Amino acid sequence: MLITFNLLYNKAGFMMFRFIIISISLLLLFFSLTCERKTSPANPNQPPNTTLANIPKENDTLFALATLHWDGEDYDGFISGYQYRYITQHIYAGDSLTQEWVTTTATSITIPFESSDLLNYQRFQVRAIDDKGEADPEPAERKFYTVQTVFPVTDILVPTNNQQFFVIENVTDWWEGVPLTFTASDQDGEVVEFAWRVDKGEWNWTTDTTLHIVPSFFQPLNGPHVISVTCRDNTNLIDPVGDSVNVILIQPTFTLDKLIIDETDEALFGGGLNAFRNRDDLVDSFYARIFGPADSWDFKSQGMPPKSLLGQYKLVIWHADNPYSNPTDVHKLPRYIRDIEDYLNVGGNFIMGGWRILKSFAQADPFPKVFEQGTFIHDYLHILEADESILIPTDFVGCNPWPNVTDTLYVDEDKLSQFPYFGKLGQINVMPRQAGFTEVMYVYANTISGLTTWRGEPVGIRYYGSVFNTIVLGFPMFFMRESDAQIMANQMLNSLGFH
């Protein structure tokens, strides 16, 4: 009985197992047949839509610089960006122009619409781009008018026309290039960008109105060149004329040693100096003897030497030995000091001296005088403060070489024998405070019974520069004993490397 039951149970289980296997096979067959059926095609992409804000209003009349706002929507995706353009019709001229499409992700932009005619009809169009790259087939459009805009005007302030400049191959701490300063104006807007170029080269756009043009822009370096400038206003108008100047660039050779520039006005010798009135030959021969072989230049008859001449010399010696009291008679060196600065910036060397030579740079200012940064006295001579001794009573008997103050280099008593000098000099420029890289060469010497106010104060300063060297004397060498002046000249030349 039990055996029969087990047989029946095993048979039923086998049947059930067989049923399950058959069912799974049918399901797999069904799904395989179903997968082979074709699916329905996806819905086509719908193009996006674009809308413009109601500013500006349709057919409004505006300034050429206008701001527009827009938005886009896409029902089956998203907006990836926009494209805009505008078409300008010149009402009076009758012609038109179409701008290229510009791609952006912005929804607002300020556009300088082309408005060269008295009245200009503008059609602004913008279209949204969806995530599939499809553009709105019907761009949003706004129509309005813009009035004519005025071209901006550009003017060069520096250089002046036909100005000469020293140039070298590479920029340094002292020479940055050829200076350029200009200005611009726009009657109906504002100037937003400037451009300059050399000769027929490419325009260089900038927001600076003061700069230096490096030597690589001038080819060849020597000779005449044309510097031009222009500007662009906020309506995208470019000055059609601009401004330009001719410049002459001079590359120094420094092939000759010394040039002595005589600025002494012998006609101003008077009173106790009448013996030297109008005796230019005495002054010239004195300097020729103490400084040895050198070329000379007479400032009174020839004016300022051209840079083409200055650039040939390693050293320029400038002297102005006449006294003066009238402001119209002040030494003329300060008027031409920019030429001397230009010479020093490219590697020249400079000795200057004379009667009240530092006072001539600040004739209207009381002494003692503090010289500020940006002045020749401060930047190139490295003198921070200068003072001046009185005229009467005179007490300058000469100078002591520093630090050998036991030695004295004396004034020429014979040249100064009459009133108000009586064998001494007055109105000596002293330099009580100096900046760095300077060396005191000579100090004020007077008699024991003389005034002590300026005794031991520096009257000769040397500046050691990385590009140039300078020496300044606060007294006229012509009124030193010639033998002592010879010693001074040798000391200064040796200090500058001339043997």
For 346-393, what is each residue's pLDDT tens digit? 999 999 999 999 999 999 999 999 999 999 999 999 999 999 999 998
Measuring CA to CA, which residue among 110, 122, 108, 124 is closest to residue 66? Answer: 110
Per-residue pLDDT at 425: 95
Per-residue pLDDT at 25: 60
Q: Are 89 and 44 in contact (CB under 8 A)?
A: no
Per-residue pLDDT at 189: 85
| Residues of the chain where predicted confidence (pLDDT) is lower than 70 | 1-40
User: Looking at this protein, which amino acid is placed at residue 49?
Assistant: N
Buried b / exposed e over 215-247, threshold 16 CB at 10 Å, is: bebbeeeeeebebbbbbbbbbbbebeebbebeb
Query: What's the pTM?
Result: 0.76
DSSP 471: E
Per-residue pLDDT at 430: 97
Domain boundaries, the chain: 49-147, 153-250, 256-495
Residues 6+ apart with CB under 8 A from 289: 482, 486
CATH code of the domain made up of 256-495: 3.40.50.880
Over residues 179-210, the pLDDT tens digits come to: 999 999 998 889 999 999 999 999 999 999 99
User: Looking at this protein, which amino acid is placed at residue 370?
Assistant: V
Any idea which architecture 49-147 has in CATH? Sandwich (2.60)
In 1-133, where does DSSP find H-type helix?
2-35
CATH code of the domain made up of 153-250: 2.60.40.10
Over residues 302-357, the pLDDT tens digits come to: 999 999 999 999 999 999 999 998 888 999 999 999 999 999 999 999 999 999 99
CATH topology match: 49-147 vs 256-495: no
